[in-house]
């Protein structure tokens, strides 16, 4: 495969898991001999320092900080710099699909690949009986994209139906290192008298449903010693802090703020809780598995159902209520976590080199098809 120039556009360095995955892929592609350029609207954000060595960064001049509805115009401002950079292929991470249309106009023969990280349609339009209402607008919003990559098989199947075409592949996120079990610890059942330390990692925003996590832990606390550490920051911090006080959880819940050491945060816990309303792939789930940490989660994504197939890995609580989640947490704490063999088998498709290689195979195929036209 000849060396490629891959352009990765996204708004800024304030993102979370989506941008972190893009940086991991960029690092792998660069290590494979390809040139990678990140094009951003603004330079701010805590992930700026995580750009891998050898990966170029181009920042719009003047900068275009993220704001309400800024995503509608960001692609237009990126069009000229993208044309100057002249990449062989554009990879749009996350659900920043609105960038594609102006980039396609600027570079009409450059293949554009976009990830589907979260469901394209939310209820009620995600109901198959109503999808036809949204399909025309969805096609406009995603116009210019040559190929989509979904992060789970269920999400890919759903996307094909909603988009009305089959230009969708499944490539799992590169959520773990090639040697993922370096820091693995087998966790035996926890005695009822021991404090159950629970970690929750995510932005303090409505999607993550921290209030559901707090009500869940309140019910667990009625049955056994427990402490919840919430790692993340966001617009709901004041509201969540007030709710902690109102529920009498000041001694039970710690708002630990943003951390760039997720592994360290997880390593000190006994269980990971995911309370999200929806996700594409909650990357913290396989990260927890790599450390031997079991997971209890809402049915927030196709991925968690596909990944948590062994009871020792964790549980998907379909009901998603505080009572049901609390019961699942108590049951999970009473059994051993996964052993190394189970964890390694689950993590194999999510190794960084595996995922990055699948992307490169897709890029090569799309470029061959484009050159044949």
Contact predicate 23/54, CB 8 Å: no
At residue 53, the pLDDT reads 95
Do 129 and 235 lie in one domain? The reply is no
Do 356 and 227 lie in one domain? The reply is no
Do 167 and 238 lie in one domain? The reply is no
CA–CA separation, 112 and 108 (whole Å): 10
In b/e form, how buried is each residue of 134-148, taking b as 16+ CB within 10 angstroms?
bbeebeebbebbbbb
For residue 149, the enclosing domain spans: 5-174+351-372
User: Residue 191: inside a domain, yes or no?
Assistant: no
Q: How many domains does the chain have?
A: 2
pTM: 0.80
Do 136 and 267 lie in one domain? The reply is no
At residue 273, the pLDDT reads 99
User: Residue 184: inside a domain, yes or no?
Assistant: no
Cβ-based neighbours of 251, under 8 Å, separated by 6 or more: none
At residue 333, the pLDDT reads 98
At residue 275, the pLDDT reads 98
Do 117 and 144 lie in one domain? The reply is yes
CA–CA separation, 371 and 301 (whole Å): 37
Tokens of 276: 């999200």
CA–CA separation, 213 and 228 (whole Å): 9
Do 82 and 135 lie in one domain? The reply is yes
pLDDT in tens, the chain (373 residues): 799 999 999 999 887 778 888 999 999 999 999 999 999 999 988 888 899 999 999 999 999 988 777 778 999 999 999 999 999 999 999 788 999 999 999 999 999 999 998 888 888 888 888 888 999 999 898 999 999 999 999 999 999 999 999 999 999 999 888 999 999 999 999 999 999 999 999 999 999 999 999 999 999 999 999 999 999 999 999 999 999 999 999 999 999 999 989 999 999 999 999 999 988 788 899 999 999 999 999 999 999 999 999 999 999 999 999 999 999 999 999 999 999 999 999 999 899 999 999 999 999 999 999 888 7
User: Residue 78: inside a domain, yes or no?
Assistant: yes
Beta strands (DSSP E) in 310-350 are 314-316
What is the CATH number for 94? 3.40.50.2000
Sheet with 5-10: list strands edge to edge.
56-59, 35-40, 5-10, 89-92, 112-116, 147-150, 168-170
In b/e form, how buried is each residue of 306-330, taking b as 16+ CB within 10 angstroms?
bbbeeebbbbbbeebebebbbbbbb
Cβ-based neighbours of 141, under 8 Å, separated by 6 or more: 97, 98
Do 345 and 211 lie in one domain? The reply is yes
């Amino acid at each position: 495969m000849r060396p490629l120039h891959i352009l990765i556009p996204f708004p800024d360095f304030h993102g979370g898991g989506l941008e972190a995955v893009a940086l991991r892929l960029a690092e792998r592609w660069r290590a494979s001999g390809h040139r990678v350029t990140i094009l951003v609207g603004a330079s701010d954000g805590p992930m700026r320092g995580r750009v891998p060595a050898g990966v170029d960064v181009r920042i719009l001049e003047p900068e275009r900080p993220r704001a309400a509805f800024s995503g509608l115009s960001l692609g237009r401002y990126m069009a000229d710099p993208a044309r100057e950079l002249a990449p062989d292929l554009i990879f749009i991470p996350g659900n920043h699909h609105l960038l594609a249309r102006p980039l396609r106009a600027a570079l009409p023969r450059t293949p554009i690949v976009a990830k589907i990280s979260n469901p394209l349609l939310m209820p009620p339009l995600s109901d198959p009986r109503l999808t036809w209402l949204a399909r025309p607008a969805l096609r406009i919003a995603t116009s210019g994209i040559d190929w989509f990559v979904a992060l789970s098989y269920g999400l890919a199947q759903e996307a094909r139906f909603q988009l009305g075409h089959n230009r969708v592949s499944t490539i799992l996120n590169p959520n773990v290192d090639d040697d993922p079990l370096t820091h693995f610890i087998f966790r035996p059942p926890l005695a009822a008298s021991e404090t159950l330390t629970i970690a929750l990692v995510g932005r303090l925003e409505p999607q993550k449903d921290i209030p559901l996590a707090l009500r869940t832990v309140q019910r667990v606390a009625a049955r056994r010693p427990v402490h919840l550490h919430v790692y993340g920051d966001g617009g709901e911090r004041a509201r969540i802090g007030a709710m902690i006080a109102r529920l009498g959880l000041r001694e039970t819940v710690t708002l630990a703020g943003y951390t760039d050491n997720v592994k360290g945060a997880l390593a000190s816990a006994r269980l990971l809780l995911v309370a999200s309303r929806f996700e594409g792939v909650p990357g913290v789930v396989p990260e927890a598995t790599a450390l031997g940490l079991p997971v209890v989660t809402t049915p927030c994504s196709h991925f968690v159902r596909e990944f948590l197939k062994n009871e020792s890995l964790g549980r998907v609580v379909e009901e998603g209520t505080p009572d049901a989640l609390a019961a699942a947490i108590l049951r999970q704490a009473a059994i051993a976590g996964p052993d190394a063999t189970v964890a390694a088998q689950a993590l194999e498709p999510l190794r960084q080199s595996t995922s990055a290689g699948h992307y490169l195979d897709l890029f090569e195929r799309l470029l061959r098809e484009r050159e044949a036209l």
